[in-house]
Amino acid sequence: MGNGVREGPVDFPKDVEPVTAAHLPAEDNQEKKKVLNSLMSGALAGAVAKTAVAPLDRTKIMFQGDLPHVLQEAYRLIYRTYLNEGFWSLWRGNSATMVRVIPYAAIQFCAHEEYKQLLGSYYGFQGKALTPFPRFIAGSLAGTTAAMVTYPLDMVRARMAVTPKEMYSSIVHVFIRISREEGLKTLYRGFTPTILGVIPYAGLSFFTYETLKKVHADHSGKAQPSPPERLLFGACAGLIGQSASYPLDVVRRRMQTAGVLGHTYSSILLTMQEIVREEGLIRGLYKGLSMNWVKGPIAVGISFTTFDLTQILLRKLQHGAGVER
């Protein structure tokens, strides 16, 4: 009996310790791999999508500045740019876009996965699809997080897109000139409308895409949609998200490019008032929207599809490597 009492306390910790030590590092490694996969997939998704629509994106920014907003005129502008400045000029400013969009997309997609997990735990949907409201919140928070971190790079991209190439020779040159001539605060001009626009844009985009995937799974019986179906779901997500947030996107671009286009916009409301007074409600705040209806669905469709397919590929590669070991 004396031996039995003595063995209990001595043996129990020995049985528990190996379980704790074995499981925690494995869980940490899995979480790190998941975050790394999301960052890599998001970065690639953003780069592929933005490069694909770079000529249309540049034209849209110019339309939001001062040019007419007719879709036919947009294509004429692209063609004239090609004739006068060469084929690669259509991608002018794309290097600045990549510097911004790669971290932006990486952070946004990774943050979305993490927010989904957090909200799933909070609302009790761990391992299952979120209900509509948390789905919207996860997307909004992901977009807001990414926009806050990368905003100065967005300002630089806008400046490079609307100015002659002689004005700014590189991304670094834009930063230096803005800092010297206009002050560091200028790098965050248009930040508030950006955040206000990102909330509905990212929220509705992720919400629409995730909802369409869930509806598809429920009705088709297939766990995953095909790549063309993903492109279609992403296109719908981009169309809805960008249409909802477009006026704030116009305001953001006007405030970002005000210094080089001869305007002084001090606040969101004053910028909106001036645009409406000079150009009208529809022609002003929705200038370039027809271009966005071409560009947006393509970009978002490519982005979501690239992210999902890259995630699937990375998981397969890691699973295969794990089996070989």
pLDDT score recorded for residue 62:
61
pLDDT score recorded for residue 5:
47
Q: What is the pLDDT of residues 243-281, one digit of tens each?
A: 888 888 888 877 777 666 556 666 788 888 888 988 888
pLDDT score recorded for residue 212:
95
pLDDT score recorded for residue 296:
86
pLDDT score recorded for residue 154:
79
Domain assignment present for 105: no
Residues of the chain with pLDDT under 50: 1, 3-10, 12-22, 66-69
Other beta carbons within 10 Å of 159: 24
Run of H or E residues at 277: helix 268-279
Domain assignment present for 70: no
- Dist. CA 293–CA 85, nearest whole Å: 26
The domain of 243 spans 189-279
Question: In this structure, are residues 132 and 150 in contact, taking their beta carbons and an 8 Å threshold?
Answer: no
Total tally of structural domains belonging to the chain: 1
pLDDT score recorded for residue 23:
52
Q: Which residue has the tokens 């004739």?
A: 83
Domain assignment present for 129: no
pLDDT score recorded for residue 7:
47
pLDDT score recorded for residue 6:
47
pLDDT score recorded for residue 81:
66
Residue type, 146: A
Domain assignment present for 255: yes
* 266 DSSP 8-state letter: -
Domain assignment present for 239: yes
Domain assignment present for 197: yes
Q: What is the pLDDT of residues 139-184, one digit of tens each?
A: 999 999 999 998 888 787 777 767 777 777 777 888 888 888 888 8
Domain assignment present for 222: yes
Domain assignment present for 201: yes
